[in-house]
Amino acid sequence: MNKKKKQLYPRSSLPRGQKDISGDELRITNLIISKISAVYESYGFEGLSTPAFEFSEALGKFLPDDDRPNSGVFSFLDDDDQWLSLRYDLTSPLARYVAENNDLLPKPFRRYQTGSVWRNEKPGPGRFREFIQIDADNVGTDNPIADAEMVMIAADCIESLGISNENYDVRISNRKILDAIIEIIHNDNKEDISAERQLIILRAIDKLDRIGYEGVEKLLGSGRKDESGDFTKGAELAVSQIVRIIDFTQSGDSSRSTTLDNLNKLVYGSSIGEEGIEELSVINNFLNDTGYGDEKIIFDPSVVRGLGYYTGPIFEANLSFSNNLDSNSSSFGSIGGGGRYDDLVARFNGNTMPATGFSIGVSRLYATLKSINYNLVDNFYGPVIILSMDKEAQANYHKMAKELRDVGIKTEVYTGSFGLKAQMKYADRRHSPLVIIEGTIEREEGTLTIKDLIEGKKLSNSVQDRETWTEKRPAQEVIQRSDLVNKVCNMMQRYGYQKK
């Protein structure tokens, strides 16, 4: 007798660094996107959508890569022997789009975009290999005011979520000033700092908020081993060079003007450094004149941004909230950033196209707000549920549901096969404010029973025993079938519904 072959099933699990998004998280994520999109649109930006993957060469080499471009980015070889990569940000595809449609676009070209991006990196707490970003970019202007506007947009986006200026800041630096520091340490030691080593320096400083100065010093030197035992190669700088870079990152002050003075002393005599100082001065004056003071927007030299395509002012938005246990402020790091990238479009056509932009990590922002129980939605209510009491009356239940939907009330007819108790439990799990019951007797009498589940929960705390509850039936009402729409509309006004 042959044994029955064992059925093999695929694993019902996700690859590391991935996550499903559902329920409250999806709802709040969409709310975040809608609020930020509204800010972008209020500044005159228009939407754009680009594909999830591009030719690998179009994305460029701004993340680490090997012979096979699959370190830092996810890539595959197409059937025509072309390397394709999932986008790791929304800016490189924008540069390709602008180069491809240059003659058709208004200049400056102001666009915003929302979408997933992918990083083939080691995942960690709150760090996923796929996450959502929402960007705004201004392409075609070299005016530092455009950079200052991006900083204003960053602040406005955060405040649109109800976050006060006590709980966030936007930090600004300038890549040209860091370039000047690298130029100076090169001149000090008469040693060439290759593009590869410069990228290592950038990435080392960019990790300051996560690994501290000791960790950064190791990455600027021989290298660093993290908690898991993985080793990251360092920039192999001399001790004197490391000291100069650390001094640069520590030159910030709560006063933007004081920071400018400190930086000016560090890069004195460097033409590119003085150019960077001048750009920050223009931004500082503009922000002061438009009411964006030092309390919310700060000059911070330790901000460098890890991507290699930035060419001028760069900025990051950070959140911090007081810890209720010890009243200390807890920093959650960057939830968004951006800067000027004047050479990105030129990769495609050789023509310089100045540009600046800002990106918010929606997934990172949601994870940060969730970790502190910050509630973007004070009260969320699911649909009104019409219980399914009789199989023969399904069409009638759905007719009632349509009447309510036609006046803007989310309504669902229960389509399962369980009884009354299970249906009530289902409505509770769906956060339903009301359930509507029409059994055979009610239908014959032309009546309905409406239960207000939210009010019922409140009243249940004041009822001492089950007998009293059964007798009084709080938050429950019998109405005429013809009064369904008016009655439900009136009851739903308690929960924010506005009648059409």
Q: How many CB atoms lie within 10 A of CB 416?
A: 9
Residue 379 lies in a domain: no
Task: Say if residue 392 is in the same domain as residue 362.
Answer: no
| The pLDDT value given to residue 465 | 57
Rounded Cα distance, 386 and 272, in Å = 69
- What number of CA atoms fall less than 13 Å from residue 465's CA on the CB side? 3
| The pLDDT value given to residue 375 | 74
Residue 5 lies in a domain: no
Going by their DSSP bridges, the two strands 109-118 and 355-361 should be labelled as: unpaired
Residue 15 lies in a domain: no
Task: Say if residue 35 is in the same domain as residue 160.
Answer: yes
Is the pTM higher than 0.85? The answer reads no
Domain boundary pick from 371, 404, 430:
371
Task: Say if residue 207 is in the same domain as residue 85.
Answer: yes
Domain boundary pick from 314, 344, 371:
371
Domain boundary pick from 346, 371, 396:
371
- Only one residue has tokens 């001065």, namely 281
| The pLDDT value given to residue 407 | 94
Task: Say if residue 274 is in the same domain as residue 253.
Answer: yes
Task: Say if residue 170 is in the same domain as residue 310.
Answer: yes
Rounded Cα distance, 74 and 130, in Å = 10
| The pLDDT value given to residue 460 | 66
Residue 239 lies in a domain: yes
Burial degree of 297 (CB within 10 A; 0-12, 13-18, 19+): buried
Residue 13 lies in a domain: no
Give me 110's structure tokens: 């102001």
Task: Say if residue 358 is in the same domain as residue 425.
Answer: no
CATH of the domain at 399: 3.40.50.800
Task: Say if residue 146 is in the same domain as residue 273.
Answer: yes
| The pLDDT value given to residue 419 | 93
CATH of the domain at 307: 3.30.930.10
Rounded Cα distance, 457 and 445, in Å = 29
Task: Say if residue 290 is in the same domain as residue 207.
Answer: yes
Q: Is the peptide bond before 93 cis (omega within 30 degrees of 0)?
A: no
Mean pLDDT by 10 residues, the chain (500 residues): 74 89 87 95 96 90 47 86 92 94 94 94 80 96 96 95 89 93 80 79 84 90 85 87 89 92 92 95 96 92 81 92 50 84 89 93 88 74 93 94 94 94 93 94 94 84 55 76 94 82
Tally of structural domains, the chain: 2
**Structural domain of residue 476, as residue ranges?**
384-495
| The pLDDT value given to residue 3 | 64
Instruction: Report the side by side order of strands in the sheet with 447-452.
Output: 411-413, 384-386, 434-437, 447-452, 476-480
Task: Say if residue 360 is in the same domain as residue 450.
Answer: no
List all residues 6 or more positions away from 262 whose beta carbon is below 8 Å from its beta carbon: 251, 252, 253
Rounded Cα distance, 57 and 84, in Å = 8
The helix or strand, by DSSP H or E, that contains position 138, with its residue range, turns out to be strand 130-139
Task: Say if residue 399 is in the same domain as residue 350.
Answer: no
Residue 377 lies in a domain: no
CB 388 within 8 A of CB 413: yes
Task: Say if residue 439 is in the same domain as residue 320.
Answer: no
Give me 136's structure tokens: 């705004």
Residue 3 lies in a domain: no
Task: Say if residue 389 is in the same domain as residue 365.
Answer: no
Residue 17 lies in a domain: no
